[in-house]
Structure 1
């Protein structure tokens, strides 16, 4: 009779532990990236009154007779299901849509690494991406090394010299002989100075032939003129009967011309030898208005630009951090790194939304988002707790009833003992 009391006592203790787990889940219902716990019971060893017997003669076998001696806590399992999405609009708030953990560290050597699903990050004075506790978020730099990610407001991109001018559009086939169409474009030297290049298209006596003359190049800021070295005769352009580009200076295989510009003190055009390539492959001639227009850059060409400072950034689904600069250029600053484990439930919670590796979790496999089974990154969003309040309250009710039932076993056993002691009066 006494064993029933001790079994019930074990039931009280175990249900109390389960209620502790439920209470912690409910307390963390709004904790970013929280993964709920689940208490699992197991039976304690049983007292065997009679062992099992094998069949013999005309009789069948007998089953063992055992009385259980209570219950114990088998495990508290961490459930790593996906939490809900909360949109924040903050560019450093990140969510993993799928498998994986962010990697953070609190030492310079990066030997201490921790893992989290909470992506409510910010930046420190040096531009490092950090957690709310100041741990640095790790990712890949442009050389592919795993380092603390940094989005530095002092980041800048240097000026880029123009190396190609493209002219695209139509020349009006209805123009009379010697009529002229003028257009222009703007290019930049290696210091970011802007220059205006003038083009003059003149219709010749042949209805399908034009002459292109390249005028002087004017510094827009001060009006200084930069001349073309050794100006050659106008470029002869011919079109086919259907308006398609046919030949440039008699050649029908190469629609590009190199322009040699006078040396400019302290700066240059093109790749350093003051040569800019003129791409005419997109020209056509139809009976429509003139709309041919030059533009900086072309197929396989890089647009010139002034230097620029970092004005903003964005983080893509594959974790690439792209800086946006004041000159309109973009530049990759780094890429978020994620870790995955063979057994997520084997990770140990250490507080502050962090997990650490244990012998049963396996070693982390580190890769980029969206690869090797890892989830994508959702910027300006956070993953909320995966606690389901309706399920937690249901478990609370069943746990409370289990606790009450075990209490009743103790009081009933006590009444039976009382009756037994009252046999002798």
Structure 2
């Protein structure tokens, strides 16, 4: 019975839906996390009576055909790249992006990754790095006797060195944008990689037209709404249960058929 296969595809689809939702919920407190949404497509149809086919030699046509679907499949897990809330941390090296753009990170293998997570630290050489020790481009090094670190909204980094009474500019943050930011490839560790779908990065300083500004002492929270995710979870659970009931009904029908004498 075809219904068994159709319902099985529905159960698998809702299982994937729950997995996507559970990942969103698990990352509710992940800095800069962007939630995903599962998208589905119906599968091929079998035409038992094709719409528009002739029903007589005089040219009359079937106005409505007979098609039997074969189920559903997961088509994509779209990443929602909307802005998360900005939360204050009062930490000098925490920097949030208010608007469009990504920080650029140099990976150990030389590739460039991109992130919205601005929870930066200093390594043993005084370089600005991520929590995993990856260097933040364009590469800013702080002297040992640095104090009063200031990051302006346009990305300029100024500090007081030693007993000096004037500030010194150490470097300048830049941000990268993409034509299709949803096409970036997530690699974990709050990092994304460029793909042919995302397009090449367009780099500029913060506050340039189309680019966001920086906010020192803040971090961007995940854009996950707990109420929405719980609602989606309940809906997926109900859909899974309904598909399981279809399988039970189809099994009962086959059992009744096998008992016919």
Q: CA deviation at 1:71?
A: 0.4
Q: CA deviation at 1:366?
A: 1.0
* Residues 1:153 and 2:153 aligned together: no
Match of 1:116? 115
Structure of higher CA gyration radius: 1
* Residues 1:327 and 2:164 aligned together: yes
Distance 2:97 2:82 in 1: 12
Distance 2:40 2:221 in 1: 28
Q: CA RMSD in A?
A: 1.6
1:410 partner SS: helix
Distance 2:28 2:127 in 1: 29
Cα deviation per residue 1:153-201 (whole Å; 9 max; x = unaligned)? Answer: 35xxxxxxxxxxxxxxxxxxxxxxxxxxxxxxxxxxxxxxxxxxxxxxx
Q: CA deviation at 1:54?
A: 6.0
Cα deviation per residue 1:203-255 (whole Å; 9 max; x = unaligned)? Answer: xxxxxxxxxxxxxxxxxxxxxxxxxxxxxxxxxxxxxxxxxxxxxxxxxxxxx
Q: CA deviation at 1:115?
A: 0.5
2:251 to 405, 414, 419: 414
Q: CA deviation at 1:327?
A: 2.7
Match of 2:51? 52
* Residues 1:314 and 2:142 aligned together: no
Alpha carbons of structure 1 residues 86 and 393: separation in structure 2 relative to 1, 3 Å: same
Distance 2:118 2:188 in 1: 15
* Residues 1:77 and 2:78 aligned together: yes
Distance 1:50 1:311 in 2: 79
Cα deviation per residue 1:97-146 (whole Å; 9 max; x = unaligned)? Answer: 01111101134xx831101111111111221111000001003xxxxxxx
* Residues 1:345 and 2:182 aligned together: yes
Q: CA deviation at 1:86?
A: 1.1
Distance 2:131 2:123 in 1: 10
Retained in 2: the 8 A contact 1:101–1:115?
yes
Distance 1:58 1:101 in 2: 62
Q: Which runs of 5+ in 2 are unaligned?
A: none
TM-score with structure 1 setting the length:
0.59
Distance 2:147 2:41 in 1: 58
Cα deviation per residue 1:81-108 (whole Å; 9 max; x = unaligned)? Answer: 111111000010010001111101134x
TM-score with structure 2 setting the length:
0.94
Match of 1:18? 17
Higher relative contact order by CA 8 Å / sep ≥ 6: 1 or 2?
Answer: 2
* Residues 1:104 and 2:105 aligned together: yes
2:83 partner SS: coil
Retained in 2: the 8 A contact 1:150–1:333?
yes
Match of 1:32? 31
Match of 2:4? 5
Match of 1:394? 231
Distance 2:144 2:34 in 1: 35
2:173 to 336, 347, 369: 336
Retained in 2: the 8 A contact 1:128–1:152?
no
Greater percentage in strand: 1
Deviates more, 1:366-375 or 1:11-20: 366-375
2:137 partner SS: strand
1:356 to 181, 188, 193: 193
Match of 1:136? 135
Greater percentage in helix: 2
Distance 2:17 2:222 in 1: 19
